[in-house]
Structure 1
Amino acid sequence: MKFSRFELETIDIKPLANAISSQMDRSYVNETDEMIIIASETYKLRTNSTQMNMVIVKKVNSKSYVDIIGAAGGTGILNISLWAESGFVRSTLKQLEEYCSLHGIRYTKQEMKGY
C-alpha cells in the first residue's frame, strides 16, 4: 500500500475532491458536508491484479486534509512491483498540485504516524 496525506488551507472540499478524482472511475462515492470518500477498483494488466484507489477529503475547522491511497496493486511479473500503487498516488498528487496552484491554495505534506 502507498499513501500520502496533505493539509490544505481551504474548507471548500467538494470542488477539491472533484478535481483530484477526475481521473478515477469513481465506483464508490460517499459524501457529507465534512468528508468525501471516493474509491475505485481498477485492473492492472502489467501486474495482473486489481488495485483499490481511494481519495479521502476531510474538513476540520479551517483546513482540509486529503489522503491519497493506492492499495493491492500486486507485485507483478517475477515479484517486481512495477509501481502501480505509487503511480496512482503520484498522478493524484499532480492533480492536487495543479488545483492548488490554480486556486492559490497552500498545502503541506503531513507525516502519517502509526502506519
Structure 2
Amino acid sequence: MKEREDHQSKHEAEENKMKILMEKLNREREEMMKKHEEEKERMKIMIEEERQNRDKDRKRREDELTEREERYKKEMKEQEEQMRDEMKKETLQIRYNQEIDRLMNRIENE
C-alpha cells in the first residue's frame, strides 16, 4: 500500500512537473508570438513610412517637372511675343522708309 502511495505521489509529482513545464512552454510561446506580432507591426509601420516617403518624393518630382514645364512655356510665349514685336517693328520701319522714299520722290518731282 505504501508503495502504491509512493508511486501515486511520484506520479502526481511528475504530472505537476509536466504541468509546470507546459505552462512555462505556453508562456514562452505566447511571449514569442507577442514579440513576433510586435515585429510584424513595426515592419508594417516601416513599410508604410517608406511608401509615404516614396509618394512624397514622386509628388515633389512631379511638381518640379510641372514647374519646369510652366517656366518653359512662359519663356517660349515671351520669346514668341518678342519676335512678333520685332517683326511688327521691322514692318513699320519698312513702311516708314517706303513712305519717306515716296514723299522724297514726290518732292523731287514737283
Q: TM exceeds 0.5? A: no
Query: Normalising TM by the smaller chain, what interval?
Result: under 0.3
Which structure is richer in relative contact order (CA contacts within 8 A, separation 6 or more)? 1
Say which one has the larger Rg: 2
Higher helix share: 2
Higher strand share: 1
State TM-score, norm by structure 2.
Answer: 0.24
State TM-score, norm by structure 1.
Answer: 0.23
